[in-house]
Amino acid sequence: MSDLAARLSEQGDDYRVEARERLAILVPQTGSSPDVERRKEILKLAREEGFTHVALELDPDGARFPGS
């Protein structure tokens, strides 16, 4: 578990974190989506962990291509 995932877990958020250089991709393990204020808090935590950008995966099964 990454440090960011552990910090989010401590605060009650359940995300798998995929790191792509300085981008943190958060994949929710539950169906909930954070509100605007929580997103700001998540971005702050991510920056403290050395990330510059955060992406929230909306579909935990991954993006689908048209026609698939």
Cα separation, 21 vs 23, whole angstroms: 6
Q: At what angle do helices 36-48 and 3-10 cross, to 10 degrees?
A: 140
pTM equals 0.80
Quick one: tokens of 63?
A: 């993006």
Q: Would you say how long the chain is, in residues?
A: 68
Coil/strand/helix, residue 68: coil
Phi first, then psi: give them for residue 7, nearest 5 degrees: -65, -40
> What pLDDT digit, counting tens, does each position of 1-58 carry?
579 999 999 999 999 999 999 999 998 887 778 889 999 999 999 999 999 999 998 7
Alpha-carbon distances of 43 from 5, 37, 63, rounded to whole Å: 12, 10, 22
